[in-house]
Amino acid sequence: MTQDFFPLSPSLWAATAVPAPETHPLQGDAKADVVIVGAGFCGLSTALHLAERGVRVTVLEAREIGFGGSGRNGGQVIPGLKFDPSELRALLGEEKGQALVDFAGGTADAVFDLIDKHQMDVPRVRRGWIQGSHTPEALKMAERRVRDWGREGVATQLLDRSEAARLLGTEKYLGGWVDPRGGGVQPLSYVRGIAKAALKAGVTIHTDSPVRAMSPITGGWKVETASGATVSAERVVLCTNGYTDGLWPQLSKSIINANSFQVATGPLPETIRKSILPEGHVSSDARNLLLYYRIDHEGRLIMGGRGTFREPSVDEPGNWSHLEHAVVKLFPALAGTPFAYRWCGHVAITRDYLPHLHEPAPGLLIDIGCQGRGVGLQTRMGQAIAQYIVGGDARALPVALSKIKPFPLYGLRRLYISAVIGWYRMTDGGV
C-alpha cells in the first residue's frame, strides 16, 4: 500500500475526468461496521451496496480515488470472463460453472445500470464489443463464442472479413464476433461517480491513508494507517488488486501484476474519426498479447496493450512505441498523428485466470484478480460481496472462497513473464 507508483496525472482520464469528491486523510481513531481497503471499483461498489443496506462503512485509500487500475484502464466494459460458458461448466461443474456464467454475463449490465440509477456524470457508450480474429484459429474461437453465448440468450453476431473491416475500420482481421452487451466508459469519471454515490449513501472515504497493518481484536479488526490513525470494525474487505503489496502474507505473490500500457491521440478529424469503429463499438482482439482500442467521447483514439514488466517513465516515450506502431499498422490514415497521452497501470492476473475470493481469517475478506476486465467484473463483485457480508450466505459469491496460493518461484516472475511475452510476440504475428 505504500509503493511509489508514478502519478495518475499523465493519463488521458485524469485530464478529462469529472472532479473527484472532496476527501481527507484519516485522523485519530474511528469505528465502523466494515472497513474497506482500496477505493477502486470493487472497494467502492462494496461500500455503496453495504451502505444501502444500512451498514456503516469506512474506505481507506493509499493515494486518491481510482489511483490504481480503476483510474488507469482502457474504459472498456466487457461482459464475461476469459473462459467461454462451456469451458466454465467443464472446469467448475454444471451448477457452479453456470452460476459463474450468469454472474459474468451480467457484469456490463451492472455498470450501466449503476450509472443510470445514480445519474452519474460519466461519458459512456453501449454499442457492443468486437473481438477481432487475426488468425484462422482465432476465427474458430469466435465461432465457438458466438455459439456458446448464443445458447445463453445473447444476440451475438459472427463477422466475416468484410464486415469486420467495416465495423473496425481496418482490414487486418479475418473476421471476428460482436457481443452487444459491451461498451465503454470514462473510467476515472465512473469510479469517482461510485465514490460520490457512496458518500451520499453515508460511506466515509479517507484518501492519502495508506494502511500499514491489520490486526484482529476482540469483536473484529483494527486497521492502522501509516500516520498511526486507526479504524476498528467487525469486518475488513481488502480490495487492492494489481496494487497489492505485503499487507497480508503471500497475497501479492498469488498474482502477476502485469503492466497494461495505453496511448491516446488528440481529437481526430471528423473524416478519420468516422472511419474507425464507425458505429461506436469498442474492441479488443484475440491475440495473447491483445490490442484493445476505442474512440472516446471527445473523438480520440485510445490504444492499449501489454508492455514491459518494469515501471515505465513518461519521460521515456519509447516504452509505448509498440502501441504507436500498432496504431499506424491498423489504421494507416493515422500515420504522423501525434500522441497526446501515454500511461500505464497494473492488471492482476491469477494462476487460473479467474477472480479469487479469500477469507484467510474470520472477519477478513479479500477480493483479487480482475484479468483485465475489472470495470464490469469488480462492479458486480462489490454487489456480491455486500450481499454476502449482510446475509452470510457464501452462495451469494460468484466463486468459492479459496486458500491463497502463491505462484511457484515467484521471485523469477520477471524472467518468466519476459520469456512468455517474447514467445507470444512471435506466435501472435505482426499486426
pLDDT tens string for the chain (431 positions)? 333 334 455 689 998 999 999 999 999 999 999 999 999 999 999 999 999 999 999 999 999 999 999 999 999 999 999 999 999 999 999 999 999 999 999 999 999 999 999 999 999 999 999 999 999 999 999 999 999 999 999 999 999 999 999 999 999 999 999 999 999 999 999 999 999 999 999 999 999 999 999 999 999 999 999 999 999 999 999 999 999 999 999 999 999 888 899 999 999 999 999 999 999 999 999 987 789 999 999 999 999 998 776 777 767 788 899 999 999 999 999 999 999 999 999 999 998 999 999 999 999 999 999 988 999 999 999 999 999 999 999 999 999 999 999 988 666 566 656 655 554 455 556 66
Together in a domain, 248 and 196: yes
Predicted local distance difference test score (pLDDT) of residue 11 = 86
| Cross-strand bridge partners of residue 287 | none
Together in a domain, 193 and 330: no
Asked whether residue 365 is domain-assigned, the answer is yes
Asked whether residue 85 is domain-assigned, the answer is no
Asked whether residue 99 is domain-assigned, the answer is no
Predicted local distance difference test score (pLDDT) of residue 418 = 60
Contacts of 275 (CB under 8 A, 6+ apart): 169, 331, 333
Instruction: Report how far residue 332's alpha carbon sits from residue 227's, in angstroms, rounded to the nearest whole number.
Output: 52
- Residue in 32, 77, 81 with CA at minimum distance from that of residue 353: 81
- Residue in 337, 336, 330 with CA at minimum distance from that of residue 165: 330
Pair 358, 241: CB distance under 8 Å: no
- Residue in 306, 355, 315, 294 with CA at minimum distance from that of residue 125: 294
CATH number of the domain that residue 165 is part of: 3.30.9.10
Pair 333, 315: CB distance under 8 Å: no
Predicted local distance difference test score (pLDDT) of residue 413 = 61
Together in a domain, 152 and 288: yes
Asked whether residue 5 is domain-assigned, the answer is no
Asked whether residue 280 is domain-assigned, the answer is yes
Predicted local distance difference test score (pLDDT) of residue 427 = 55
Together in a domain, 272 and 373: no
Together in a domain, 218 and 344: no
- Residue in 398, 173, 143 with CA at minimum distance from that of residue 281: 173
The total number of structural domains in the chain stands at 2
Q: At CB < 8 A and 24+ separation, what contacts does 311-319 make?
A: 311/5, 311/6, 311/259, 311/344, 312/259, 312/261, 312/344, 313/6, 314/6, 314/10, 314/342, 314/343, 317/342, 319/261, 319/344
Question: What are the grid coordinates assigned to 184, written together?
Answer: 465503454
Instruction: Report how far residue 101's alpha carbon sits from residue 350's, in angstroms, rounded to the nearest whole number.
Output: 18
Together in a domain, 205 and 219: yes
Range(s) of the domain holding residue 180: 126-184+256-350
Together in a domain, 341 and 361: no
Predicted local distance difference test score (pLDDT) of residue 160 = 98
Cα–Cα–Cα angle for 204, 255, 40, rounded to 5 degrees? 20
Alpha helices, H only, 76-121 = 85-92, 94-105, 107-117
Domain boundary among 302, 324, 350: 350
- Distances from the Cα of 119 to the Cαs of 14, 42, 86, 113, 115, in angstroms? 21, 19, 36, 10, 6
| Burial of 10 from C-beta contacts in 10 A (0-12 / 13-18 / 19+) | middle
Together in a domain, 274 and 220: no
Question: What are the grid coordinates assigned to 213, written together?
Answer: 497493518
Domain boundary among 303, 326, 350: 350
Domain boundary among 321, 350, 379: 350
CB atoms inside a 10 Å sphere around CB 6: 13
Asked whether residue 265 is domain-assigned, the answer is yes
124: three-class secondary structure by DSSP: strand
Question: What are the grid coordinates assigned to 399, written together?
Answer: 466463486
Question: What are the grid coordinates assigned to 343, written together?
Answer: 500511461
Asked whether residue 61 is domain-assigned, the answer is yes
Together in a domain, 239 and 362: yes
Predicted local distance difference test score (pLDDT) of residue 420 = 55
Together in a domain, 246 and 282: no
Together in a domain, 263 and 321: yes
Together in a domain, 359 and 406: yes
| Burial of 162 from C-beta contacts in 10 A (0-12 / 13-18 / 19+) | exposed
Asked whether residue 117 is domain-assigned, the answer is no
Pair 333, 272: CB distance under 8 Å: yes
How far is C-alpha 330 from the geometric centre of its chain's CA atoms?
Answer: 24
CATH number of the domain that residue 56 is part of: 3.50.50.60
